[in-house]
Amino acid sequence: MRKVVLFFVGLFASGLLLAQAVKRMEPLNWWEGMNLSRVEIMLYGDDIAKYDVNVEGLTVMQQLRTENPNYIFVTVETRNMPAGIYPIQLRNKKRVVQTLNFELKERRPGSARRPSFNTSDVVYLLMPDRFANGNPENDSHPAVTEKANRSYPGGRHGGDIEGIIQHLDYIKELGATAIWSTPLLEDNDATYSYHTYGQSDLYKIDPRFGTNEDYLRLVEEAHKRGIKIIKDVVPNHWGEEHWMMHDLPTYDWLHQFPGYGQTNYRSSTQIDPNRSEIDLKYCEDGWFVKSMPDLNQRNPLVQNYLIQNTIWWVEYANLDGLRVDTYPYNDKNKIAEWTKAITDEYPNFNIVGEIWMHDQAQISYWQKDSPIGAIQSFNSHLPSVMDFTFHDAVGVAFGETHDGWDAGMYRFYENLVNDFLYADPQNLLIFLENHDTDRFNHKYPDLKDYKLAMTIMATHRGIPQLYYGSEIGMAGDKSKGDAFIREDFPGGWPGDEQNAFTQDGRTEKQEAYHAFTKKVLNWRKGSKAVHDGRTIQFLPHQNIYVYFRLLEDEKVMVVVNNSKEERELDLNRFDEVLRTISGGTDVISGENISFSTGKWNIAPKSSYIIQLDLVK
């Protein structure tokens, strides 16, 4: 017995049986050959600041301690170092207290130059909790607070990563080529955690959605089908239950007022040359809501943490793009620095920012190389922005069936007029709706209006984004609450009465929506004129909007009659494009259209996508 006691005394003396000092290490690994080679490793544990840190094989550039003794930030240089394990040792003088393995992994060939989503894509936006439940076993989980309750509109319903994987073929056959999922990282809020914008762990998939490995499998299975994956990231804030919120590294890790201060939501103060400083402060630093603390990117530790975390996910999961939530609520110079760090790592990478503003000049300000931003010597480095003025036009245009000076189809015309404000109008995300707005089919319950809108979105400049369920006529009234624009996709849950994922399971009305969407989006895949061609638009007349997409010898004519009356179209007006063209084929109906008479009767509330005959 005495020998056993002496043995354990010896182990304690060597540090091998001491309680694990480090509870968290982030990131757990990095990759060889990265542009961002100087990595800041965060170590967290009780009173660990008293220890010294050594990293075998890597140069330690800095060991930073803060006012909280539970953190050490260790910066190591990985440039020109091979893949392998590099042990991190915590030492109390000469005694090793704990050893952690930091790994440099081999990088995928061509990772830095990976392609991204672009104008050839159609983005399918889904909310994983409301899309499909592929694994009912993970609907609730002991590691997180909120449990599944499908009967509660604002509760967790059980959709997950497995559900998305099981319906990738549905998305592909519909004609979408990229998936933007709302965030999948852990959100441990006690209620309303299903949307996952209040994240509690930036390195962990929410266990009710699956595991990190499940996310890797989603990306891999999507890529097999030619579908790209766009991750939704939130550098502005995280949730009140984020693990650091219980023990902040520094007081100024968050914007403190002290404590909570509400944002004024006025992102125009970032641009306004006549603003007051107090209004700017509450825009940039105010908390989005009380349960979402605002992160202080002016603190270099916060900024490095967010940059490294984003790059880690791109590399780890082999991602194809990013969507950035509430982009202009960040400190504008720091979010530009964050964006540039990512695009420096991945020069071809597309990132789209949520710029929820209602003026083209103000939206343009936030796009990379903007001529508007240049007025204030500002460059966001953000390749793409969301075209909310297109969405604004959608919100009213199809209800304006009269022929007005600035009504109906003129709203789309005028939106394109302002393309001169953008550095790259082709790289705008256009959409009829998203997870924060009224559903289109609520505002316009007539299938005819949906067909008009889908015709425009599928053929306009930019990258179209479709919100899940629109393609089967799903409707939702935001005034009743967000849950009503985020309802479950019928057939996504075992035991659902109908399965709208299959043609046999769809109602006649649902199939009509689906068939139109599928036809238009699958045609769009092969139209280089729509992807990359220039646009010529003509002034709407009698609420008929005509425009062309032109690229080399491919010419597409789009005709949208928003009037409730049949209209006669005088084709001579479009002679600069049609001069040598005798007709074409309507993609929607399959009919051959002849221009020989110079006139064409357009049915009320109808649209045409005409693949024009080549000039012989």
Check if the beta carbon of residue 342 is closer than 8 Å to that of residue 324. Answer: no
DSSP state for residue 440 in the 8-state scheme: H
The 3-state DSSP composition of the chain as helix, strand, coil percent (nearest 5) reads 30, 25, 45
* Residue 292 three-state SS: strand
Q: Which of 416, 372, 405 is nearest to 541 (CA)?
A: 405
Residue reference for tokens 């590294």: 249
Q: What are the E-state strand segments in 250-387?
A: 321-324, 351-353, 384-386
Say which of 162, 187, 354, 471 is annotated catalytic: 354
Q: In 3D, which of 272, 385, 274, 389 has the Cα closest to residue 326?
A: 385
Q: Look at strands 544-551 and 554-561 and give their pairing.
A: antiparallel
Query: What whole-number distance in Å separates Cα of residue 604 and Cα of residue 509?
Result: 20
Task: Determine whether 354 is an active site residue.
Answer: yes
Q: If we measure between CA atoms, which residue out of 341, 399, 275 comes closest to residue 34?
A: 341
Identity at 30, one-letter amino acid code: W
Query: Per the residue annotation, which of 325, 392, 532, 613 is the catalytic one?
Result: 325
How many of the other CB atoms lie within 10 Å of CB of 190?
A: 11
Query: How many CA atoms lie less than 13 Å away from 134 in the CB half-sphere?
Result: 15
Question: CA–CA separation, 330 vs 335, rounded Å?
Answer: 6
Q: What is the DSSP letter of 254?
A: B
Q: What are the residues whose beta carbons fall under 8 Å from the beta carbon of 492, sequence distance 6 or more? A: 130, 131, 132, 133, 159, 163, 167, 501
Structure token digits, residue 483: 């849950």
The backbone region for 428, taken as left when phi is positive above 0, alpha when psi lies in -120 to 50, beta otherwise, is beta
Are 330 and 283 in contact, with CB atoms under 8 Å apart? no
Signed CA dihedral, 299, 345, 245, 256: sign only:
positive
Catalytic residues: 325, 354
